């Protein structure tokens, strides 16, 4: 746990993480598996086609799953944290997680831009990049601004 003095003292709400993880990890994993299974079932299963998968394609597929999982996890986590923590603690804890996910999505987007692969960035990751969550906390604002 990364609790420090100053602006991070409200992060003690992260003590809910084991409960949040137990609930949301399984829920979001199952959601991603169901969605992927529906995609597979809806595709035309033409046995005569040959599929060649590049490493980039495999990476983008896994990245899409990661971004969908992060989106699900944030939605699932918020009510659990709000139920277990005070209003201000919950707000700050949720903002920290959102800032981290935003930073990660921006980092992924930057890599795609630098390597000329803008068009391959999965929509699920684009959604996280465009979320632009604003925080009242100047430290989180600085992290968010640095990622842009």
Domain ranges for the chain, please list them. 14-29+53-147
Q: Is the pTM of this model over 0.85?
A: no
Q: What is the pLDDT along the chain (148 residues), one digit of tens a residue?
A: 333 444 454 556 766 677 777 888 888 988 998 888 887 776 545 444 343 456 778 888 899 999 999 999 999 999 988 888 888 888 888 888 888 899 999 999 999 999 888 888 999 999 998 765 455 556 656 655 554 4
Ramachandran quadrant class, 98 (left: phi over 0; alpha: psi -120 to 50; beta: rest): alpha
CA distance 4 to 25: 26
User: Which pairs from 45-54 meet CB under 8 Å and 24+ separation?
Assistant: none
CA distance 113 to 124: 16
Report in angstroms the alpha-carbon separations of 137 from 57, 79, 94.
Answer: 38, 21, 12
State residue 40 phi and psi, 5-degree precision. Answer: -65, -40
Give the distance from CA 85 to its chain's centroid: 22
């Amino acid at each position: 746990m990364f609790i420090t003095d100053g602006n991070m003292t409200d992060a003690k709400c992260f003590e809910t993480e084991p409960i949040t993880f137990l609930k949301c990890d399984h829920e979001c994993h199952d959601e991603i598996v169901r969605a992927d299974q529906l995609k597979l079932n809806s595709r035309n299963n033409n046995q005569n086609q040959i599929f060649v998968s590049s490493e980039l394609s495999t990476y983008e597929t896994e990245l899409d799953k990661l971004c969908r999982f992060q989106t699900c996890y944030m939605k699932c986590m918020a009510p659990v944290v709000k139920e277990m923590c005070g209003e201000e603690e919950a707000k700050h804890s949720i903002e920290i997680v959102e800032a981290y996910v935003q930073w990660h999505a921006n980092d992924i987007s930057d890599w795609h831009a630098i390597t000329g692969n803008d068009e391959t960035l999965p929509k699920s990751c684009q959604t996280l990049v465009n979320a632009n969550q604003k925080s009242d906390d100047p430290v989180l604002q600085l992290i968010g601004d640095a990622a842009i």
